[in-house]
Structure 1
Amino acid sequence: MDYSLVREDMVLPEVETTPLLQIRFLPQASDELIHLVQSRLAENGIVVLSSHKLMGKSTILRITAKMETLEIQAEKIHLMKETVGSRRRVVDYFRREHRSRFCDLTKPPQRDAQGLFTAAEYALLIRHLLDRVHVLKTGQVSSPLSQLFDTNYRVKYLVDFDDSKEASRGSLAFLTASLRRKLHEHGIQSACLMHVLITYNLVDAVVPVPVPAVNREIFRKTWWPWSRLDLPIELIQDYYGWEIGFYFAWMEFLTRWLFFPGILGLLVYIIRCYRGDTIDTDEYTPFYGLVTFLWAVLFLRFWERHEHRLAYQWGTFSLSQYERQKFFAVRPEFRGYLRKSPVTGEVETYYEPLQRRIKYIGSALVTSVMLAVAFSVMILSLNLQGYIRPKSNPTRWTKNSPHPFFIADLAFVSEPGQVFDALSLRGYIPVVGHVICIFSLNLLYRRIAERLTSWENHETESSHRNSLILKRFLFEAFDCYVALFYLAFYERDVERLRLELIAVFQIDTIRRVLLECVIPILIQRFNAAHHLKRKLNPMQSLLVIPTHDILMDELDKDTYDQFDDYMEIVIQLGYVTLFASAYPLASLISIAANWVEIRSDCFKLTQGCQRPAVFRSSGSGMWKTLASCIIWTSALTNCLIAGFTSDQLVHYLPSFYVHVQEGYTDMGHEKGWLLVFLIFGLERILVLTGLLVYAIVPAVPEDVVDELERRQYIRSQQEAWEHSPENKKND
């Protein structure tokens, strides 16, 4: 294909004649329901451009809105955009009366003909409009649509009403007289229409419409040339939105920073091989662990700076906490009772924080049970691999004090000549089995975590996602790391730790490459060759306006889940930092893995998945917090591996260790307390050094601070002019 046909002066299609969103109704949705839904959408300024009834199957609505409606919505949700028309641009709140200040014609590939909104902003605005369409109008207690829900679909509305601690969750048709009066007095709307349709299995897809030419341009600029590491971040953000833009920015930033520990780890490995040392006795590896921690602290700080700079450029840096809650994305599933807000004085839906905290305890208990299951699977796997060996440390494990996790019948099969001989390739079978078990448990807990998080009843999409991310990360990170921590700090066997780390890290890397890159590409080629999917004209991918075939093909694609992409990279960062003293080559392998990961993620987004819904974000959020926890913990783990798990410090402190038997060294009993003091003292020094770096290097770059102060100055000047006598005289 000739990519030169993609014109650089391409602009987005006219919004009022091109759909922005597709809604697919399932066959059980009646024609009467769909007609009433269309009328309800029209009452809220949403234009239905087309309605396609497939033969005996689903019905597809393609919707948009007038430009004026979208501009009003942009002002309501406090959308921030870069201004033009002055020597230095600033990022400010969008205001319709000053719309000319925000029309930037220098970025035509990502914006409309007026240079006002990007594709991501269009998708955000139309989804905000859609989420604010309720079953009933303000003050209504019944309508043909609500009556149809009551009689045919038995919908229960997700709004509780509190009148002296009295609540009702029933259908609006059965409200008491006092509750109906309350509706009229306060003008409370009923449940979100789209949420009701999805919850009761009437709608199964609400998908932003793709822009084929921009989609193809992102794919081309990410995949070619093969050697490139810089990504079209601005183009990705303008098309896919803030969350995905921050993810690809994180991937690009991390991959570049990995070159330093990667090259250093390769030198340490070459020196160790040249000297004939093992990972247990190498005297240079401890220094690599310490340097890796300091590198990780610098990486985290400079990523924060880069993240804040991007957040300012993308208009999400300076939103207050109230604005984040109210304007980012309020969950339509949120339940509660009505009260008068102490902040705004308006009636709002409220849920007691104490009730949610009690539910947190329930979630923690369920998660603890699942973690116990994962730990049991890990113990079985380590026995099958022969990693639990009481005989290797006879002074610690005796007849009077047996090993609590040793299972002789399972460990026997790992002996030489047995089924899972640890010295042969058959020894990798239990490792592969453990990885499969981890993958299965993760899938099971994913469903459990989603149910628990919904049960906790979070008000906003951001808090809901953060809670879900925290649960799933703790469980999946536990699955990935528990065996490594067990070998490092309970068995204190650095050789086995290194073997397990190499096996798990490399198998997981191969799994990522196969499942996310190779297999999806092969499946797509196979489907195209056998006409299993709708065959699209290759030239259609160069169009700005999507054709009917492209829109239908988009609905059949899988949905995109960003959690797995972030999870894999944060877990990888843990392998690189937490166990740097055990596997210095992890950084170098991670560079190659990330190079493939970036392209596989791009392929998945542009070719294999639906265009995801757009959410505003001010950064990587919870993922940055989790990465920070891993990095700061790595100071302790690397010190413990060097001092307690291995013999790496014996070269420097020989008098602090005693040789119990050949191949096994233990702390000297007389100076053991001093060695513990030195190890933890070194860890404290590393942490203090990291804190010193944080104190010296500010999180917010100076140029961003200057821009914020300049924006505030311009605002004050504008307000002064608007209230000046000269301006009033001109009016």
Structure 2
Amino acid sequence: MGSWTAIRCQCCVMPTIQTLAVMRLRESIKPETKKWLISVLETPANPGGAQILVHPGEDDEDDILLLSATECLLLQATERLGLAKADHNKSITTFSYKNKNHFLNSDKINIFLTLAEQQFLLKYEVENLKILQETCLPGYPKYRLYPGQHIVHFLQKWGIIVKFYPIHDKEKLNNLQKRWYKEISLAPQPIETVRAYFGEPIALYFSFLGFFTLSLIAMVLLSYIPAFLQDSSDKYIIFAVFNVLWSTVTLELWKRHSATKAYFWGTLNLKSYIKLPRAEFWGTLIKSPITGRLEPHYPHWKRKMRICFVTVPSVCIFLGLAVDGMNMYLYWETWIKKWYETNPSNMAALGLYLPSICYTLFMEMLNSAYMRVATALTEYENHRLESSFQNHLTIKVLVFRFINCFGLLFYITFCLQDLQLLRKRLSSLLIVSQVISQFKESLLPYLKQRLKLDPVWVKKGKVDTYPFIDEVVSEGDMFSYPGLFDDYMELLVQFGYVSLFSSVYPLTAALLILNNITEIRTDAFKLCQIFQKPFSYPEANIGIWQTAFETLGFLSVITNCFLVAISPEIQAVCKKYEVGPEKILLYMLAAEHILIILKLFLAFAIPDKPAWLHLKVMQMEYRSQEAFKKMPRQDIFN
């Protein structure tokens, strides 16, 4: 069996080397290709290498590489990416390698950097490895690399590198699982431990899930207020106003909460790092006017043509299917009501819920099919950066999910004005959709994983005798983590149900709390046991999802004002005092404008950052400016 790369830096000599990530190569990869890749990865940075610690697996003919990094490399990468860390004064400051002794625990790498950070920094260094001289890929002369091209990116594109993934630390994982979901307790989630192990994006998601669930308790308590009211018409007004204020306060307080988290995590003012092209991006190789190197180029006008003539029509077709589904549901609902009136019985009463259940199933199937189509369409558009790809995919899915999930509810509210049907539809969505979601997200992947063949690595007719290698390869055989898109989308839909329509169905918040308590544990379980450990990346907030939640918050003003206006109790009061439809409309518009102004006032009155945090950020920026002034001139321009 081979050995790790020799450590050249004496200050980085370690008694044991922890494997951070694994590269799975093409089966039966040629030995000269593997040796060349190892040499490039472990070559010092000055000659153009990555200075990564590499272990060749069992021998030079195996299709696996174990990767790690020295302490110096990780600290230098921390400085390059602008991560902030606590200094000896316990202030969060942008890390400086030259002044590393000024930072807490900088001499203890496993305390100074979390496992997720170490794995991300390793990934960053590996993916930024560039070729210096034009060369053919050893063992595969048909593949040619040109100066400035990212080596790993093209090896992944050509199928030489099949998988590149971080690996678990079993001891840390077991401790996390025990605290997170195995023990039944009322203790809060171990968000700091989750962040240390899985990184900021996943920690922010679970933190937001817990924050949102906790905020729903206020909605549940509010549902008991009508029992103490003599006038039942007041309950609609109270619920409507509270919904509008609740959505605003919840999102503004979350901004403060996430900003505080990001400050202590050192990602609040993170400078942007160079983002590589997606492995799937393709184009004609031309000389870049910026770098002067050969880089793939795809014209913007071609991408726009694909969006206009392929993407937009395809999305419209699915929107048409969603509208057709609504029409079929409404037709079936009307028909079965008439049938029940002529044939009243217990069985017929149960049949009243059949259209709603079937339509919910149709929605879930259409959502699933559209997600695959939207992903394929976004791939077809050929976006260069992963951020651009994710933004276009998010917009496509948000538009469709909004129509598919809320379109019928809006139609029932504004066109049919049938509050009884609206309650019935909401109850079906909250129960059937959540059951389907839990099955699809957790139980189904678990069953698929259990039914897969034994992942122990069998090769050339014999089982490997190296347990650690077997374990590492087994992790690579697990399903790739699908990301947080569907999880955030589910929360967005929940937020919409609560903020838009819960004034007519107060049980909404209670049902969502029960669902989310389970959701936290099932999401944690699938992350720890079902999927590969994902690479993390620095993150300060939930990004575009914050905007999506705030948009629903503004829509809730219109919906709640209209629901108040059409409620039977309010209609009875208006009839009693001879208030006509025109005046009701004027009162509704006036209330809507007042609530929007109130929302804007609350958003302005609640700062995005606490006062102490704002002061800390200003201090950090001042120290960074002073450090920049003291830098030698040659260091500034290097």
Q: Same fold (TM over 0.5)?
A: yes
CA shift, 1:73, in A, is 2.7
Q: What CA distance in whole angstroms lies between the structure 1 residues aligned with 2:224 and 2:28? A: 61
> Partner residue of 1:24?
24
CA shift, 1:69, in A, is 2.8
Q: What CA distance in whole angstroms lies between the structure 2 residues aligned with 1:364 and 1:534? A: 45
Equivalent position to 1:676, from 575, 585, 603: 585
User: What are the equivalent positions in structure 2 for 1:554-703 lying under 5 Å apart?
Assistant: 554-561=475-482, 562-644=484-566, 646-654=567-575, 671-703=580-612
Instruction: Name the CA shift for 1:117/1:329 in 2 (closer, same or farther; >3 Å).
Output: farther
> Partner residue of 2:289?
340
Instruction: Name the CA shift for 1:523/1:444 in 2 (closer, same or farther; >3 Å).
Output: closer
CA shift, 1:102, in A, is 3.2
Q: What CA distance in whole angstroms lies between the structure 2 residues aligned with 1:317 and 1:328? A: 19
CA shift, 1:425, in A, is 2.5
Equivalent position to 2:222, from 252, 257, 264: 264
Secondary structure of 2:194's aligned partner: helix
> Partner residue of 2:3?
none
Which letter does structure 2 place at the counterpart of 1:426?
Answer: G
Q: What CA distance in whole angstroms lies between the structure 1 residues aligned with 2:370 and 2:14? A: 44
Q: What CA distance in whole angstroms lies between the structure 2 residues aligned with 1:551 and 1:314? A: 29
Secondary structure of 2:163's aligned partner: strand
Q: What CA distance in whole angstroms lies between the structure 1 residues aligned with 2:348 and 2:60? A: 60
Is 1:316 the equivalent of 2:263? no
Q: What CA distance in whole angstroms lies between the structure 1 residues aligned with 2:382 and 2:455? A: 39
TM-score norm. by structure 1 comes to 0.74
Q: What CA distance in whole angstroms lies between the structure 2 residues aligned with 1:455 and 1:713? A: 45
Instruction: Name the CA shift for 1:523/1:426 in 2 (closer, same or farther; >3 Å).
Output: farther
Which letter does structure 1 place at the counterpart of 2:608?
Answer: A
> Partner residue of 2:148?
189
Instruction: Name the CA shift for 1:315/1:422 in 2 (closer, same or farther; >3 Å).
Output: farther
> Partner residue of 1:217?
175
Is 1:383 the equivalent of 2:331? yes
> Partner residue of 2:616?
707
> Partner residue of 1:398?
none
CA shift, 1:352, in A, is 5.8
Contact 1:23 1:61 (8 Å CA) reproduced: yes
Secondary structure of 1:189's aligned partner: coil
Deviations 1:116-144 (A, max 9, x none): 3211111111111222235xx2341x323
Which letter does structure 2 place at the counterpart of 1:212?
Answer: K
> Partner residue of 1:50?
56
Equivalent position to 1:307, from 232, 246, 258: 258
Secondary structure of 1:97's aligned partner: coil
Contact 1:265 1:584 (8 Å CA) reproduced: yes
Equivalent position to 2:93, from 91, 94, 97: 91
Contact 2:156 2:279 (8 Å CA) reproduced: no
Contact 1:16 1:64 (8 Å CA) reproduced: no
Which letter does structure 1 place at the counterpart of 2:544?
Answer: M
User: What are the equivalent positions in structure 2 for 1:84-123 lying under 5 Å apart?
Assistant: 84-86=87-89, 88-92=90-94, 94-104=95-105, 112-113=109-110, 115-123=111-119
Contact 1:255 1:591 (8 Å CA) reproduced: yes
Instruction: Name the CA shift for 1:487/1:716 in 2 (closer, same or farther; >3 Å).
Output: closer
Q: What CA distance in whole angstroms lies between the structure 2 residues aligned with 1:616 and 1:413? A: 58
Deviations 1:213-238 (A, max 9, x none): 22122212222653425211111112
Is 1:75 the equivalent of 2:33? no
CA shift, 1:351, in A, is 6.1
Q: What CA distance in whole angstroms lies between the structure 2 residues aligned with 1:205 and 1:592? A: 38
Q: What CA distance in whole angstroms lies between the structure 1 residues aligned with 2:259 and 2:504? A: 34
Deviations 1:403-446 (A, max 9, x none): xxxxx6x887777659x999532343433332332222222222
Which letter does structure 1 place at the counterpart of 2:74?
Answer: L
Instruction: Name the CA shift for 1:253/1:209 in 2 (closer, same or farther; >3 Å).
Output: same
Q: What CA distance in whole angstroms lies between the structure 2 residues aligned with 1:533 and 1:495? A: 53
TM-score norm. by structure 2 comes to 0.84
Q: What CA distance in whole angstroms lies between the structure 1 residues aligned with 2:596 and 2:307? A: 31
Secondary structure of 2:113's aligned partner: coil
The gaps in structure 1 that reach 5 residues or longer are 1-12, 156-170, 173-182, 390-407, 536-545, 658-667, 725-731
Secondary structure of 1:62's aligned partner: strand
Contact 2:71 2:109 (8 Å CA) reproduced: no
> Partner residue of 1:138?
132
Instruction: Name the CA shift for 1:338/1:122 in 2 (closer, same or farther; >3 Å).
Output: same
Contact 2:85 2:93 (8 Å CA) reproduced: yes
> Partner residue of 2:186?
228
> Partner residue of 2:124?
128
CA shift, 1:656, in A, is 7.6
CA shift, 1:481, in A, is 1.5
CA shift, 1:631, in A, is 1.1
> Partner residue of 1:177?
none
Which letter does structure 1 place at the counterpart of 2:125?
Answer: L
**Bigger shift: 508-517 or 282-291?**
508-517
CA shift, 1:463, in A, is 3.0
Identity over aligned residues, as a percent?
24
Secondary structure of 2:556's aligned partner: helix
